[in-house]
Amino acid sequence: MQISLIEAILLGVMSVLAGSTPAALGTTVGNYTLNRPLIGGLFVGLILGDVPGAIQIAIPMQVLYIALVTPGGTVAADLRAVSYIGIPLAYVAVKGAGLDFGSEQAGGLAVSIAALVGTVGTVMFYGTAMMNLFWQHWGWAELEKNNFKVLPIVDAVLPLITHFVISFIPTVLMTYYGQSVVTDIQQALPMDGLIMKTMFTVGNILPAVGIAILLKSVVDKASDLIPYAFGFVISKSLGLTLVAASLVAAIFALFHYRMEMAKLSSGSGHSKYDEEDI
């Protein structure tokens, strides 16, 4: 299994379109669609010619980074590196080790690699934000002269140079040359050795960090942990799928909303017939 130069270049282009906060395709399509590892799995699969395999590699990575909020422009990890460097390298590693893509071992390896390249993404994120300062500096000087034509150039055109330097070139180099490093590491470290055992165990435990970040964003007080534990039980003990669990959750949300609205309308003296007008 080799990643060809053409494939590496296509991966580089994807990393530019999908940057974390400053993505060439904008926030909704770039950051919140193409940047997500599950979607990255689809595109990496299309580039490498194995969509089911790449998506299976992407699933555990997506679980690890399921909630990635960038409050005030600080990131824990820029997922463009996870999606377009991590997934291809993990794919090559899993294939090289002869593992089944859906197996727990493949998942563990994928998560370990994802955590590793996540830090590369962080460097890319801060590098992009820093290099854009040049374009903005020039933009402010032109705006002083009421030259409004600079607005689209500064906001949309010049950042593409940043992406080429900070995102495209490193992604092409790392996916093209990184695969041999991954295979070297695999040969040097036996699967039943302490290091590999630790790596796979880390792969099992790290999704807990991702879900804890998510939990933090929806929990304010201790009693908020009860609905969370309820969700855990219907999934783990009752075995509901996530779609089914979402529907159970939706009915509770609906009751909550109705109760709150009923409280409001009784409190302000409206009859329930007036509810539509509020």
Partner 1 sequence: MSSRVEKKVSKKALNASFWRWWYGNLTCFTHEHMQTFGYMWSLFQVIDDLYETTEEKGEKLRAYWPFFNTEPQIGCIVVGITAGLEEARANGDPNVDDEMINGIRAGLMGPLAGIGDSLIVGTYIPVLLAVALGLSEGGSVIGALFYIVVWNATSIYFQYTIFMRGYELGGTAVDIIVGDQATALRGAVVLLGQIIVGAINGAWVNITTPLEFKNAQGEVFLNLQGQLNGIMPGLLSIGFVLLCWWLMAKKNMKPLTVMLLMILIAFVGVLIGFFDPQLHY
Of residues 223 through 262, those in contact with partner 1 by CB under 8 A are 224-225, 227-237, 240-243, 245-246, 248-250, 252-254, 256-257, 260-261
Q: Name the token pair of 206.
A: 């790290």
Decide: is 155 part of the binding site for partner 1 (CB under 8 A). yes
Selected binder of partner 1 within 129, 138, 142, 183 (CB under 8 A): 129
Return the residue of 3, 8, 82, 206 that touches partner 1, per CB under 8 A: 206
Query: Is residue 204 a contact point for partner 1 (CB under 8 A)?
Result: yes
**Of 27, 164, 173, 180, which one interacts with partner 1 (CB under 8 A)?**
27
User: 245: burial class by Cβ within 10 Å (0-12, 13-18, 19+)?
Assistant: middle
Among positions 31-60, residues that touch partner 1 (CB under 8 A) are 31-33, 36, 38-39, 41-42, 51-53, 55-56, 59
**Within 160-189, which residues bind partner 1 (CB under 8 A)?**
none
Interface mask (CB under 8 A) for partner 1, residues 259-278, using x and -? -xx--x-------------x
Residue 63, interface with partner 1 (CB under 8 A)?
A: yes
Quick one: three-class SS letters along the chain? Answer: CCCCHHHHHHHHHHHHHCCCCCCCCHHHHHHHHHCCHHHHHHHHHHHHCCHHHHHHHHHHHHHHCCCCCCHHHCCCCCHHHHHHHHHHHHHHHHHHCCCCCCCHHHHHHHHHHHHHHHHHHHHHHHHHHHHHHHHHHHHHHHHHCCCCCHHHHHHHHCHHHHHHHHHHHHHHHHHHHHHHHHHHHHHHCCCCCHHHHHHHHHHHHHHHHHHHHHHHHHCCCHHHHHHHHHHHHHHHCCCCCHHHHHHHHHHHHHHHHHHHHHHHHHHCCCCHHHHHHC
- 101 vs 176 by CB, closer to partner 1: 101
143 binds partner 1 (CB under 8 A): yes
Between residues 5 and 256, which has the closer beta carbon with respect to partner 1?
Answer: 256
> Residue 173 or 250: which CB sits closer to partner 1?
250
> Is 102 an interacting residue with respect to partner 1 (CB under 8 A)?
yes
Based on the shown chain and the rule CB under 8 A, indicate whether residue 219 belongs to the binding site for partner 1: yes
- Residue 200 as a binder of partner 1 (CB under 8 A): the answer is yes
Our measurement of the distance from residue 181's CA atom to the centroid of its chain's CA atoms, rounded to an integer in Å, reads 24
Q: Does 214 bind partner 1 (CB under 8 A)?
A: yes
Smallest distance, Å, CB 169 to partner 1?
19
Identify the residue among 5, 123, 130, 185 touching partner 1 (CB under 8 A).
Answer: 130
Interface with partner 1 (CB under 8 A), residue total: 114
| C-alpha closest to that of 9 among 76, 74, 67, 84 | 84
CA dihedral 97, 171, 58, 186 (to 10 degrees): 20
Please identify which residue in 67, 123, 161, 181 interacts with partner 1, judged by CB under 8 A. 67
- State which residue, 158 or 176, has the beta carbon closest to partner 1: 158
